[in-house]
Amino acid sequence: MQSKISEDEGSYEKPSDEELKEMLTKKQYEVTQKNGTEPAFQNEYWDNEKEGIYVDVVSGEVLFSSKDNFKSGSGWPSFSKPLEPDNIVTQKESGILDNRTEVKSKHAGSHLGHLFDDGPQPTGKRYCMNSASLKFIPKEELEEKGYSEYLYLFEED
């Protein structure tokens, strides 16, 4: 029941709240729709070392590549940059935990995690994401899942 954005971005519509509750787990709903955070080191992708891409669990919009994944020690999947920057929206949030930069998916508006300035060079960025917001597509499944345009990332030189 996963939706994938068509080439015509204008035709994308976020599923209704009722549909989201049916298609997502309780944790995925809490994180993506209520700005929740899953526990560090107790989430699906915090130590994933497989090659592939990460998409929004709600919309299927492409977000990150395993090529930009790094071990941050935070207990959450971390990336130095987005694979598709146009699918990422950042906004400042202020609260108890200082001022942070929230990261959301552009089309679905899913809460993904936060952006920090303590990542590796050359970007110096750390996109610290919740696994519950992401769906991992292994390189072997890119074509069958409709993401064949990203196969080039994993071709041998």
Residues belonging to the active site: 128
Residue 14 DSSP code:
P
> CB under 8 Å to 30, separation ≥6 — which residues?
36, 132
Structure token pair of residue 82: 């987005």
Q: What is the CA radius of gyration of the chain?
A: 15
Beta bridge partner(s), residue 103: 90, 113
Tell me how far apart the alpha carbons of residues 64 and 83 are, in angstroms, rounded to a whole number: 5
